[in-house]
Amino acid sequence: MRVTIRKRKTLTMRALPVFPLALMLVACSASEEEKPGGVTQDEARALDAAAEMLDKRELPELPEAEVTAQPAPAPSAS
């Protein structure tokens, strides 16, 4: 079967709108797999490393809270 120039042009014109659609679909796909919450794998690794570093950090000793007993106020003679 011989394809004429007119048929080739018609096929090209029909396929033309498909290319922008395909480009939009490719652009919308994520290049990296994301975790829930919209965080990439690299960001998740960095957050995990920061959390581990904070967990290993030694906290300073806090002084015990001391509450001294205060005398009850005397009733006013009104």
Q: What is the pLDDT of residues 28-48, one digit of tens each?
A: 655 555 556 778 889 889 999
Alpha-carbon gap, residue 32 to 45, rounded angstroms: 13
Question: Is it the case that residue 64 has pLDDT exceeding 90?
Answer: no
Give bridge partners of residue 70 from the DSSP assignment. Answer: none
3-state helix, strand, coil in the chain (%, to 5): 50, 5, 45
- Report the largest interatomic distance among the alpha carbons of the chain, rounded to a whole angstrom: 118
Q: Is the pTM of this model over 0.75?
A: no
The pLDDT score that the predictor gives to residue 74 is 85
